Structure 1
């Protein structure tokens, strides 16, 4: 039995407002950082003994993966963001409105993916500004969009471990 899309008001798409909120928040903070801070590590603002604000460019993906390439990765990561967002919206359309946990997870990933895709389309890189560190070890800088993606992915993983409503033997299972 194939699952069909639910009416919009009855589906997980009701949570797309969260994706929009995360997108706007991410872009807004990036705009402030770009216009109020100097670029680079030497212009960082020390907030706490383990946290700085700074303005850096990331030409790659997570942890600057492929950031040293010639520029083709910009198009790859932008395309992947749009494809994953469309897939997640399709899945959200099939989720009942009671599936709040997964709807929030998918919306978080969509908002984050589109926030970073916006940067790649507009600038050719992603603006990162959060720097956590311990001693001289600095975690790679990141942004709100990255946090939304990681939190959404963690929620999906947790759902896979703890949500036992559908089993692997159920052919209509859409995890």
Structure 2
């Protein structure tokens, strides 16, 4: 097995395990909508359930579960296809895609198992709350950011090499 597949698999498995364990823990020890203050006026652990996508987008759409499962499966297949096509030297892209893959799969597990996603990370400034999120959401965001950085750096490398 090549290095890129080992790195991809290790990161994805680790993130999925952390994501699922944290969600299971929150579900077992907290009541829905209960909150624990971690940093006053900035960060709480708040048990929420999200039937939609980011910011509860499409939470009232009648075919939301099949739709989100389909979108997740398509995203996972596209990511695996892209990883297969990456060069061995594109390590940064492998890490980025592993994070996005793990996040998509972590939330897909919730949707299949529960019909919704467990969120619990609550960042806020006094009463102004960012929508609650989870480890999978964080992995997707970090992965997308790193992938954008990698694409920018790859473009610069190719410009330096010339035609």
TM-score by length of 1: 0.84
Matches within 5 A, 1:24-35: 24-35=17-28
- Looking at structure 2, the residues matched to 80 and 142 of structure 1 have their Cα atoms a distance apart, in angstroms, of 19
Partner of 1:56: 48
C-alpha RMSD over aligned residues: 1.5
- Looking at structure 2, the residues matched to 32 and 140 of structure 1 have their Cα atoms a distance apart, in angstroms, of 20
1:138 matched to 2:138: no
1:122 matched to 2:113: yes
1:112 matched to 2:77: no
> Structure 1: where are the runs of 5+ without partners?
1-7, 171-175
Q: How many residues align?
A: 157
Residues 74 and 120 of structure 1 are in contact (CA less than 8 Å); yes or no, is this contact kept in structure 2?
yes
- Looking at structure 2, the residues matched to 130 and 84 of structure 1 have their Cα atoms a distance apart, in angstroms, of 24
TM-score by length of 2: 0.90
- Per-residue CA deviation, residues 30-77 of structure 1 (Å, 9 max, x unaligned), is 00000000111xx2001102100011110000111111223x112111
2:74 is aligned, of 56, 78, 83, to: 83
Partner of 1:67: 59
- Looking at structure 2, the residues matched to 134 and 36 of structure 1 have their Cα atoms a distance apart, in angstroms, of 25
Match of 2:31, SS state, is: coil
When structure 1 is superposed on structure 2, of 110-119 and 157-166 the one drifting more is 157-166
Residues 74 and 124 of structure 1 are in contact (CA less than 8 Å); yes or no, is this contact kept in structure 2?
yes
Partner of 2:10: 17
Residues 13 and 89 of structure 1 are in contact (CA less than 8 Å); yes or no, is this contact kept in structure 2?
no
Runs of at least 4 residues off by over 6 Å? none
